Chains A and B, each alone.
Chain A
Amino acid sequence: MVRVNRLSVLHVALALFALALTARAAKVQLLDGKIWGRAAEKQHLAQTSLDAPRGEIRDAAGVPLVRSQERVRIAIAPPEVRDMRELTRALSRLGVGRSVIRRVSDRKHKWVELSETFQPSDVVVLARMPGVHARSVSERLYVASDGVRRIVGRTGSGGVAVDGLELALDSLLRGVRGRTAAFRGANGERYESPDLLTEPPRAGSTVTLTIHLALQDICDRALAEAAAHLGAEGGDIVVLDPRDGEVRCLASRRAGSRVGAATAVTEPFEPGSTLKPLYAGALVERGLARVDEMIETFDGRYTVAGRTINDVHKAERLSLADVIRFSSNVGIARFSERLTDREQYELLRDYGFGTPTGMTYPSEAAGTLREVRKWTAQSHASLAIGYEISVTPLQLAVAYGAIANGGRLMQPAIVKSVQDADGRTIYTHSPRVVRQVLTPETCATLRRILQSVVDSGTATDAELATFNLAGKSGTARRTSGGRYGQGMYTSTFIGIFPGDDPQYVVLVKIDNPAKTYYGGKAAAPVARNVIEAAIASRSVNLDGRTLAAQKIRSAPRFDPAPVPLEQVVDAGAVVEDSAPRGPALPPVSLVDTMPEPPLRGPIRFDLGRPLRDVPRTDSLVSVPPVAGLPLRVAVRELHRAGLKVVLAGSGDGATQPAAGAQVRSGTVVRLWRP
């Protein structure tokens, strides 16, 4: 008989228990090991998404204009605060407003979020206080220049691009988010480790612009001083390199708005007399007129299709060159009669008017150039004097760029190169010729005529002491509330510098100057100031070697006496018809003839109420890129852009129309759920 004692029973029980534990451990480790391993990992590791640093934007010289910087956003839970006095003192030291501090001090408030962000080093102590919740955010750091900010645009909350180049180049600048895991501590704290980096973030590309910060500063300042001096509402300056179409500066200013869009690209205007040289070029090119050919100008008063056109400087007859030099409306209207409506339309269309230039910038305006079938009997003459058409300052600068470079209409560019996160160059701008609009010979002739405008015509205020400058001034009436306003003008001057081997096209447009409003008096001196400052600067990309060779004289500037018009008109005149020469004209201070707007102008052509088939450029918006964003953020961004949203099933956050497309504000956008 087997003797069973209590100790043996205990041993057996313990052995069985150990066996059960071993079996269980074996099941946990061997059979369910992966499941438990995942559970443990989930408990101890927290998956975190890493923001990709947004790419830099630099100027042409490599100066950083926009960078991403880590900042700290602070929120305070007043009920959790232990030492309120210490906290308020710390907030006060940071410069937080009194009203916010009062809200923080009131323990009735559950959560107070400070609107501003802070340098991480400034809030080290504050962030450790109980009740203070600090969160790192990436913010864009812009160089302090309103002009640059207008060009590069903004990013909104969460680094979403809102407008400007930030929006246009978002896919390049955005980068690719990464993923990492962090150890979870016992109290919920997280510890990141380089070993746990599962997917490193990829920084956005670095974009180098064609803009020069130094020149941008020069133009911003010149525009601000001109606006203050002339009592103007605002204006625009465009500096373009005609040789490769690179935009060197886009300065804009509007009363009442500190920073907005680059209006030189987005706001069209009626160009007035600045179109006249383009007509002269077309007439010469087609063999329809010679520059020294005289035409009757009827003492500055001419009626066509029931509309009377007047000149400021009245003359019986003028040569084509002098029509440009003295900005004769009658002369150019008469010369333009040699072109058919179709030829006139094609001439303007060839310069790119009525279509966007294609420069990388969201919401670029196309301007307005109506088809011939929509013209009235007066349209032919109106267009010749720069009405019934609207162009952006950039379009006009590009058109003059063609005169400057020998007839090649260049596509303007604002992006010089793009480097990816590894420093590889993935894009470099190469000049692109859109079309040949004039022959080099005609361009050289036009530049000589335009030099006469500056040295003895309507824009002598732009004249430089030691360089030839070619240019044309223009003055046009402006509309307000659907009508041409009384005393409202756009003063414009476009300079080609130097006149013989041009490196710059400088367009200056002044809106509603309160004092003098003639383009040659208001805008031309601004262009001269810009060019003088550019010559004196070492960092604006002027080719000093070529420039030195073009210096014509080294005399101090003097104010020349006004040139008698009679003397100018007589110079080089070729009498081709039998019309008697008009009476001698008195010496006058030359100003550009301001074309009168068409009689029915405000009704037929109104920038505020454009034609039905022309989309309102001021209501065009770009569809923001929302791929990869949470649904709520994506919808918010689309709404913020002024669009309506319809959800269209599951997807990857794509939209229809696609991101970047120009659509009218209020358009319904289909969004595939991210």
Chain B
Amino acid sequence: MRSGGGWGIASRGRLIATTLLIFLVVATSVVWRRTRGMAAARSLQTLASSRAELESRRLQLESDIVTLASRGKLGVRVESRLGLHVPNDSQVILLPLPAAATRRGR
């Protein structure tokens, strides 16, 4: 009787300890997973934000290039700084493309 009761208390204690251990492991893994998830979400958000910033910057720079390379901006500068001018039609030589080249161009 006594040994059976002793086994009962000891085994019950082991069972409780095991249960607690399993709970602890599961709880820790849940918290760890959640923490990793949040960290990943933060990184993702930071990356998305950086991507949006860079994309915005790219668009701005491309637009600046188009604007600065346009005749409206460039034409004025080359005329004032380099003394160039728009040629009149007699100063333009139009080179007729050979038929083969035209076909390739198409």
Contact = CB atoms under 8 A, between A and B. Distances in A.
Contact of A545 (B41, B70, B96): B96
B16 interface: no
Contacts of B95: 544, 548
A119 B55 contact: no
Contact of B60 (A69, A183, A191, A548): A69
Nearest to B58: A69
Interface string B72-106: 11011000000000111110101111000010000
A486 B29 CA distance: 90
Interface stretch (A102-110, A163-171, A471-479, A550-558): A550-558
Contacts of B57: 119-121
Interface string B51-62: 011111101101
A213 B96 CA distance: 25
Interface residues of A, number: 49
Interface string A544-573: 110111010011110000000000000000
Given A70-B52, A549-B96, A532 B70 contact: no
A121 B53 contact: yes
Contacts, number: 114
A57 B51 CA distance: 23
Nearest to B76: A221
The winner among B53, B70, B89 for most chain A CB atoms within 10 A is: B89
A143 B41 contact: no
Contact of A193 (B41, B53, B70, B90): B41
Interface stretch (A309-317, A426-434, A462-470): A462-470
Contact of A124 (B53, B66, B70, B72): B53
Contact of A557 (B42, B62, B72, B90): B90
A69 B54 CA distance: 11
A191 B42 contact: yes
Nearest to A136: B52
Given A69-B60, A185-B38, A548-B94, A532 B75 contact: no
B56 A119 contact: yes
Nearest to B69: A63
A22 interface: no
B44 A529 contact: no
Interface in A53-89: 63-64, 67, 69-71
Contacts of A554: 90
B67 A143 contact: yes
Given A548-B96, A557-B88, A120 B53 contact: yes
B71 interface: yes
A465 B59 contact: no
A464 B90 CA distance: 8
A640 to B, nearest CB: 27
A643 interface: no
A529 B71 CA distance: 14
B9 interface: no
A119 B60 contact: yes
A22 to B, nearest CB: 15
Interface string A304-325: 0000000000000000000000
Interface string A525-540: 0000101110111000
A144 interface: yes
- 7 nearest interchain CB pairs? A191-B41, A465-B90, A217-B71, A548-B94, A120-B53, A144-B67, A217-B72
Interface of A: 63-64, 67, 69-71, 119-121, 124, 136, 141-145, 183, 185, 191-194, 213-214, 217-218, 220-221, 464-467, 529, 531-533, 535-537, 544-545, 547-549, 551, 554-557
